[in-house]
Structure 1
Amino acid sequence: MSTDPTNRTGFYWDERCFWHSGGNYALTLPVGGYVQPLAAGGLPESPETKRRLKNLLDVSGLTSELHVSSAPEASREDLLRVHPASYLDEFKAMSDAGGGELGLRTPFGRGGYEIAALSAGLATTALADIMAGRVDNAYALSRPPGHHCLPDWPNGFCLMANIAIAVEAAKARGEAPRVAVLDWDVHHGNGTEHIFYDRDDVLTISIHQENNYPLDTGALADRGRDAGEGYNINIPLPPGVGHVGYLEVLDRIVAPALEDYKPDVIIVACGFDAGIYDPIARMCCTMETYGEMTARMKSLAERLCEGRLLMVHEGGYSEVYVPFCGHRVIEVLSGTQIRVEDPMAETVRIRQPNDGFNAYISGVIGEIAAALV
C-alpha cells in the first residue's frame, strides 16, 4: 500500500486471478488447489498479459505510488443481483467437481467459481472505494474478464459480469444513480449491453471492431428498449482503425454522449485487444492511443463526476504489448512522473493508417454520429 497521502489512484489485483485456467482444455496435470496452471491452460486468454502488466508496474516503480489492494470475493448477494441462482449453483457444482464449460469459449478448472467471484470482487471493491472517496480513480486487474457474460450464459472467456455486478452493488448502496460504461475492448460488450438494455440509469457505450465477436451483436441500430431506449450506443468500426480514428470517436461521439448524460461515475471496460499487435483482432491502436483515451476520460470524469473513474481490465492477448498499454493507462490515471516508453514505437508509427484511410474512417465516424442523433 502506498504511503503517499497525495496519491489517490487505486490498483486492485490478486495473484489468484492469474491462476484461472482452461480446465478441460488443458493438456497438463489437473490444476486447482495449490497446483498452478501452466501458461493459459489452453486458453488464448492468458494470465501472462495480466501478470506481465503487474510485473512491469513493479519494475518501473509505479506500484509504489498506487494504493494497492486485493478484495474479497463478490458475495452471493452481490452476484444474485445479476446472475440467477440456477446459474451460480451449476457453475459452483461444476467448479467443485473439477471444472468444465458452461457456455461458449468459457472453460474453467477446479476453483474457477471462486476465482471468477474474486475477479468480480476486485471491480466491486474498487467501485465502492471510489464512491466512498477513499480513492479518486482506480484500475481493477480483473481476470477472468466479464463484459461478454449474460446473466445465465457465459461466453467469450467471461464467466461473471464483473462490471454489472459492481454497478448493481453500488446501486444497492444508493451510491450511483447514473452510471456510464464505456467499453473500448475490440469486441462488442454484449453482456453489459444485455443486462442494462431496458434501463436509463446506466448508459452503455461500446466501441468495437464490427462483426468480430460476437458476430450477431453490436449493431448501430441497437439503441436500447423501453426505458432504456437511447441509452445504449454501439460504435461498430471497420478493421484497421488506429490512433487518429479512435481519438476521433471519443471526441465526436463518446464525449458528447457523456456530457449529455452527466453520470455520477464513469467505468471503462478496458480491453487492450484493439492494440496493433493483438493476435485475434485487426485494429491499430498503440500505447499512446490508450494513454490519450485515458486522458480524455479522466478529464471528462473530473468535469462531470468529481473525477470518479474506474478502469476494469477486459481482453487483450498480446503478452508483449498489453503490459505497456496498461502501464500507460495507469500512468495517466495516477498522474505519475514515471514513464515507460513504447519499445515498438518506431514500428508502430510506420504501421499506422495513412492519411487517406484516416479520411475514410472519419467519414464512417461521421455517418455513425449522424445516425445516433
Structure 2
Amino acid sequence: MTRTGFYWDERCFWHAGGNYALTMPIGGFVQPLAAGGLPESPETKRRLRNLMEVSGITADLHMTSAPAASHEDLRRVHPESYLRDFKAMSDAGGGELGLRTPFAQGGYEIAALSAGLASQALLDVMQGKRRNAYALSRPPGHHCLPDWPNGFCLMANIAIAIEAAQARGLAGRVAVIDWDVHHGNGTEHIYYERDDVLTISLHQERNYPLDTGDTADRGRGAGLGCNINLPLPPGTGHKGYLQTMERIVLPAVDAFAPDVIIVACGFDAGIYDPIARMLCTAETFGAMTRQVMDLADRLCDGRLLLVHEGGYSEAYVPFCGHRVMEVLSGSKHVVPDPMAATVAQRQPGARFDAFLTGWIDDLAEAVL
C-alpha cells in the first residue's frame, strides 16, 4: 500500500470548446486560451494543481498520469455509433454533439484521457496499489448519457471506470456519492436498472438539469431502491450538507455494503460558485471527505476514489480541493482557507436551519 494517488495530466487542461479569439486552429501543439469559449474553465483545475505544488502537498502524494481509456473500455458504456461520431467531429476540428458540450479538435482524445485517469485510479485502488485516490478528470463526466453528452460532459468517466473494474473482476458492488451541485443524471441513467451500483446525488433542486433529480426517481426493475436523489434548497450550507450526509447518505451506503466508494467530487456547491446558490466552504468538503473515509474504512478496507466534476470559481475551488487532499492523504501540508472568516458569517441562520432540518426530515422519509 502506497501513498494517496493523484491522477492528472496537463493535456486535460487543454480541452476547449473551440477558440473564438484566435484565427489559428486549436489542437496539436496549439494550446487554447483560457476556456477557449467553454464556461467550464481549465483554470479551476490548473490552479488547484498549482496550489498543491506550492504548498508542498505533492510530496505526500503519488502524482501520476495514466493511459487514455481503451476503445474496449469506452464501448462498455458508450455505443459504437456515438464514439464514431464523436471521433469524426473531433478530427474535423470540433463541434457539439449534445447540449452544452462544445469541443475543439482533439476533444475525443482528451475526453478518453480524462476517463482513463478515473479508470486507472480505480484499478489501482482495487488492486491495493493505492488505499485511496483522486482523479483530476477534465472534461467531467457525471451528466453524460451513453449516447447523449450534456452539461460539459463528453464521456461518463465514473461509469467507464466502474465497468473497467468490474470487467476485470476487481469490483462487484460500487457506491457512487455525487456531491456536485448539479444532479448526476448521466450516472443515474446508466445504472437505473441495476442493483450492483448504488447512485446517490446531493444537488441544488432544479439547477441543472431542470427535469431530473426528484426523490421519486428510485430506480427501476432490479435497480429499484438503488438510486437516491437528495435535492436541497438554495442556501444550504455547511451544517445542512453534513446533516444530509450523516442522516441519509452514510446509512444508505452502509446498508448497501459496497466493495468501493466513489465520490463524484464537484466543488460547485461552494459559496463563491457563479452558477449555483449553495454556501459550502472548503471545510465542508473536507468534512464530507472525512465522513466517507471513515465509512470506507469500516465497509471496504478504505477503498475510496474521488473523481473531479464541476466547480467554476477559479479563486475558491483550489482551496476546496486542497482541503480534500489534506484529509484524503493525512498530509501536514495544510493551506488555510483565506475566506474562512467571511464564509462563516454567511452561513444560514437559526430560522433557515430549522426549515432545512424539516426539509431533510422529508428527504429521509421519502428515500430511506
Q: TM-score, normalised by structure 2?
A: 0.99
| Separation in structure 2 between the aligned mates of residue 289 and residue 65 of structure 1, nearest angstrom | 22
Give the equivalent residue in structure 2 for 1:73.
68
| SS at 2:289 equivalent | helix
Q: Find out whether 1:349 has 2:344 as its counterpart.
A: yes
Q: Could you tell me which amino acid in structure 2 is paired with residue 198 of structure 1?
A: E
Q: Could you tell me which amino acid in structure 2 is paired with residue 325 of structure 1?
A: C
Give structure 2 stretches of 5+ with no counterpart. none
Q: Find out whether 1:204 has 2:199 as its counterpart.
A: yes
Give the equivalent residue in structure 2 for 1:170.
165
Instruction: Tell me if structure 2 keeps the 8 A contact 1:209–1:237.
Output: yes
| SS at 2:153 equivalent | coil
Query: Residue 151 of structure 1: CA displacement?
Result: 0.2
Give the equivalent residue in structure 1 for 2:42.
47
Give the equivalent residue in structure 2 for 1:249.
244
Instruction: Tell me if structure 1 keeps the 8 A contact 2:2–2:129.
Output: no
Instruction: Tell me if structure 2 keeps the 8 A contact 1:73–1:117.
Output: yes
Q: TM-score, normalised by structure 1?
A: 0.97
Q: Find out whether 1:17 has 2:17 as its counterpart.
A: no
Equivalent residues in 2 for 1:75-224, closer than 5 Å: 75-224=70-219
Q: Find out whether 1:363 has 2:358 as its counterpart.
A: yes
2:22 counterpart (25, 28, 38): 28
Query: Residue 26 of structure 1: CA displacement?
Result: 3.0
Residue deviations 1:324-357 (CA, integer Å, cap 9, x gap): 0000001000011111000111110111111211
Residue deviations 1:130-157 (CA, integer Å, cap 9, x gap): 0000000000000000000000000000
Q: Runs (4+) of structure 1 moved beyond 2 Å?
A: 25-30
Residue deviations 1:216-251 (CA, integer Å, cap 9, x gap): 000100000000000000000110000000000000
Give the equivalent residue in structure 1 for 2:220.
225
| Separation in structure 1 between the aligned mates of residue 172 and residue 242 of structure 2, nearest angstrom | 28
| Separation in structure 2 between the aligned mates of residue 26 and residue 233 of structure 1, nearest angstrom | 40
Residue deviations 1:16-38 (CA, integer Å, cap 9, x gap): 00000011x63323211000000
| Separation in structure 1 between the aligned mates of residue 315 and residue 22 of structure 2, nearest angstrom | 24
| Separation in structure 2 between the aligned mates of residue 359 and residue 31 of structure 1, nearest angstrom | 52
| SS at 2:231 equivalent | strand
Deviates more, 1:155-164 or 1:38-47: 38-47
Q: Find out whether 1:38 has 2:37 as its counterpart.
A: no
| Separation in structure 1 between the aligned mates of residue 244 and residue 333 of structure 2, nearest angstrom | 28
Q: Could you tell me which amino acid in structure 1 is paired with residue 264 of structure 2?
A: A
Residue deviations 1:40-67 (CA, integer Å, cap 9, x gap): 0111100000000000000000011101
Give structure 1 stretches of 5+ with no counterpart. 1-5
| Separation in structure 2 between the aligned mates of residue 26 and residue 362 of structure 1, nearest angstrom | 47
| Separation in structure 2 between the aligned mates of residue 181 and residue 289 of structure 1, nearest angstrom | 19
Residue deviations 1:300-338 (CA, integer Å, cap 9, x gap): 000000000000000000000000000000100001111
Percent identity at matched positions? 74
Deviates more, 1:29-38 or 1:276-285: 29-38
- RMSD of aligned alpha carbons: 0.8
| Separation in structure 2 between the aligned mates of residue 232 and residue 313 of structure 1, nearest angstrom | 21
Give the equivalent residue in structure 2 for 1:282.
277
Equivalent residues in 2 for 1:314-329, closer than 5 Å: 314-329=309-324
| SS at 1:203 equivalent | strand
Q: Could you tell me which amino acid in structure 2 is paired with residue 107 of structure 1?
A: P
| SS at 1:218 equivalent | coil
Query: Residue 117 of structure 1: CA displacement?
Result: 0.0
Q: Could you tell me which amino acid in structure 1 is paired with residue 303 of structure 2?
A: R
Instruction: Tell me if structure 2 keeps the 8 A contact 1:126–1:140.
Output: yes
| Separation in structure 2 between the aligned mates of residue 332 and residue 195 of structure 1, nearest angstrom | 30
| SS at 1:254 equivalent | helix
Residue deviations 1:155-176 (CA, integer Å, cap 9, x gap): 0000000000000000001111
Instruction: Tell me if structure 1 keeps the 8 A contact 2:111–2:139.
Output: yes
Instruction: Tell me if structure 2 keeps the 8 A contact 1:7–1:334.
Output: no
Give the equivalent residue in structure 2 for 1:291.
286
| Separation in structure 2 between the aligned mates of residue 300 and residue 112 of structure 1, nearest angstrom | 37
1:266 counterpart (226, 240, 261): 261
| SS at 2:230 equivalent | strand
| SS at 1:42 equivalent | coil
Instruction: Tell me if structure 1 keeps the 8 A contact 2:260–2:296.
Output: yes
Query: Residue 7 of structure 1: CA displacement?
Result: 4.8
| Separation in structure 1 between the aligned mates of residue 49 and residue 182 of structure 2, nearest angstrom | 24
Query: Residue 372 of structure 1: CA displacement?
Result: 1.4
Q: Could you tell me which amino acid in structure 1 is paired with residue 295 of structure 2?
A: L
